[in-house]
Structure 1
């Protein structure tokens, strides 16, 4: 197989008519890959994505060809997928206000050009989920928020509306399923691509602890830091060290932070799927 692309977390290999998508144990925060890996993370992301692809199959087609027909050295953390022409936009949806969306709201009262009510705080549930896309930056660069008008300029109105509507539908379905299992999906990022027949398909990963903010529904309380099952723990640790994304070297993650992060990923997987992680 030929390595044709290396992302922040996934490596993409060409194999005949298909691609093989391999999830690594790398972890990135603020669009920077940290030098320490999280053991088992690639397998966890792959297993959870496959579970979600199945749950969403009636809603949107996806790129999966096989989770078994992959090289043995990548077994458990790789998926054989269709070749797609990827949509050059990150499809982000927010049901709750936090992170960069909160920062934009505090400055302008809006997120990606969408005005929001006054008085919202960190962790507030939004009146309705909102589509808040970003650019798709290269490794080492930062994704930038854009409004829907900029999306239509980039990919055309028809495709932009299709991406937006499918993103919202995936989020609503996923948020409903997750809440029944005690997890709030505060926001998530999706990727789409178009296959050789012109069909728009859900790609990459879906509703994982890397691509989403997972909060403990029982512990959720607006105005405070939410107990979470995602890589926010690593983000918070990285910020606490004084490191900033533009610094030359990213810090090594201490073992206790690695272990705590891995435990959160496992807990999210087990709560959502009802399966025990071996």
Structure 2
């Protein structure tokens, strides 16, 4: 749903965020309460999710300022979107999902079981769901449009798309940010299993961290005291929703053409609780 925001024109809606521009060309990025899984937008949304994502991203941007500039210009936004929007730079975005993995799970686990590799990175034999990796790895993916699916790709594919210099910069930044964030999360009793970033470039070529960062939408957060490789991990992120969709309780045939069923009220409520807990444990702030 688009909003009538004085001084701004709606330009794009993604799975979760809506973008508006003002006369100067700056962007207003609004985080909605929509939630997606398996590249499908689900109904209903998760109450307060947009505000949680925005507040968490702003907190993380502050933790990372010495590593990489970010796109936030101001949090002075129209009242209708207060708390869940930021004014940000209009960047030339790189068409790459920059994923860092410190643990094996999700699509990386599927690739590993099939090939022994993730995005062309060979891994030791014998790893299981939730295994820590010998070192964090860069496992990029395509940036899919709404209704399409992200696909894991090799580093060479990123080089072919954006050039060797830019690919190396994105890889190095992704791993540096992951290492910093993993350390911060672990100090708070949370394992950052994997996460994805998006970057853009200023006109002078400076690479800037953009979109959201290190939220339950873009990351897998696990309680450190419950981590046990060899099984699905408890989570503070939307993996909870994915697990319900894949369960017999949802009745959804992911391989078919039918859209996913509506999320039951208890799934919506428990998902919101997980997002709030992730925010509060990481930031130390009450939501």
TM-score range, shorter chain: over 0.9
- 1:85 corresponding residue in structure 2: 92
What's 2:230 paired with? 223
SS, match of residue 166 in structure 1: helix
Report the TM-score when normalising by structure 1: 0.98
Correspondence 1:164 to 2:171: yes
Q: Would you say the 8 A contact 1:93–1:188 is kept in 2?
A: yes
- Secondary structure in 2 matching 1:120: coil
Report the Cα offset of residue 197 of structure 1: 2.4
Q: Which runs of 4+ in 1 moved over 6 A?
A: none
**Deviations for 1:98-126, whole angstroms, at most 9, x for unmatched residues?**
01000000000000000000000000000
Q: 1:222 to 1:49 in 2, by over 3 A?
A: same
Aligned residue number for residue 247 of structure 1: 257
Q: Does 1:260 align with 2:270?
A: yes
Q: How does 1:57-206 map to 2 (within 5 A)?
A: 57-67=65-75, 69-206=76-213
Question: How far apart, in 1, do the equivalents of 2:87 and 2:256 lie?
Answer: 35
Following superposition, the deviation at residue 195 of structure 1 comes to 1.4
Task: Output the CA distance in 2 between the equivalents of 1:247 and 1:122.
Answer: 29
**Aligned with 1:52 (options 49, 57, 60):** 60
The Cα offsets for residues 225-255 of structure 1, whole Å up to 9 and x where unpaired, read as 1111000110001111242165332210001
Q: What TM-score, normalized by structure 2, do the two folds share?
A: 0.95
Q: CA deviation at 1:16?
A: 2.5
Q: 1:217 to 1:276 in 2, by over 3 A?
A: same
How many aligned residue pairs are there? 276
RMSD of the TM alignment (CA)? 0.8
- The 1:22/1:246 distance shift into structure 2, 3 A limit, reads farther
Tell me the residue number matched to 1:42.
50
Structure 2 equivalent of residue 32 of structure 1: 40
Change (3 A) 1:171 1:49: same
Q: In 2, are the aligned partners of 1:32 and 1:245 still within 8 Å (CA)?
A: no
| Structure 1: unaligned runs, 5 residues or longer | none
Work out the CA distance in 1 between the residues paired with 2:74 and 2:204.
19
